[in-house]
Structure 1
Amino acid sequence: MVRHAHTSPDEEDRAAFTREQEEAWDPPALVTQQQRVTWESNLAEVVVTNP
């Protein structure tokens, strides 16, 4: 996910949003390669606390 995930739903997913979901969703933002590198470098510190 860190390497390839997109920051926004596709048009099909958005079409199924409720009005509340549509209003609460932030506009799509570009994720840079540098951000992905930074996130990946921090993965060793990630702790999963709930499945």
Structure 2
Amino acid sequence: MVKEIDNNNTRLFLCEICKLGYDDVKFAQMCEHHCNASNSCSLEITKHAVLK
């Protein structure tokens, strides 16, 4: 389940598996799904991360 956090007054969505943060919930959900399915990160998804 994607976690919503406040980072310097900016709402971010965190992948609970790899802990990457996104400003769009869609990318956080895609990241978490990919992490669960393949036990690895996708470069196509993680390039959208704003918090590492």
TM-score, structure 1 normalization = 0.28
Higher RCO structure (Cα 8 Å, ≥6 apart): 1
